[in-house]
Amino acid sequence: MNLELLRQYCLSLPGCVEDVKYSSDLCFSIGYKIFLGTRLQGPFRTGIRCSPELFAELAEREGIVPMPRLANAGWVRIEKADALNKKEWQDYIR
């Protein structure tokens, strides 16, 4: 997965908007609720919000860790673009 593919998929979701926040993160939201944020520069890091069940499953995978300061809200940080295959990326984002 790369930035452009993430962007294309997120923007295909109904009501999704993108915005740069914190000066370096591209964030995607629906109804003012951010569901994914990714770095525009630097090493690959993307955060997604997920259910408690999915959080536990993803946090056990290599290249995925609980998001610092946001883990309690159900966020994981994906540190390796290949930690998920394309279908998994789409399923987990949706």
Query: In CATH, what number is assigned to the domain containing residue 73?
Result: 3.90.1150.30
Which structural domain range is residue 68 located in? 3-93
**How many domains is the chain partitioned into structurally?**
1
The tens digit of pLDDT for each residue in 41-71 reads 888 899 999 998 899 999 999 999 999 989 9
- Judged on CB neighbours under 10 Å (0-12, 13-18, 19+), 76 is buried
The tens digit of pLDDT for each residue in 75-86 reads 999 999 999 999
pTM: 0.88
- Number of residues written out for the chain: 94
Distance between first and last Cα of the chain: 15
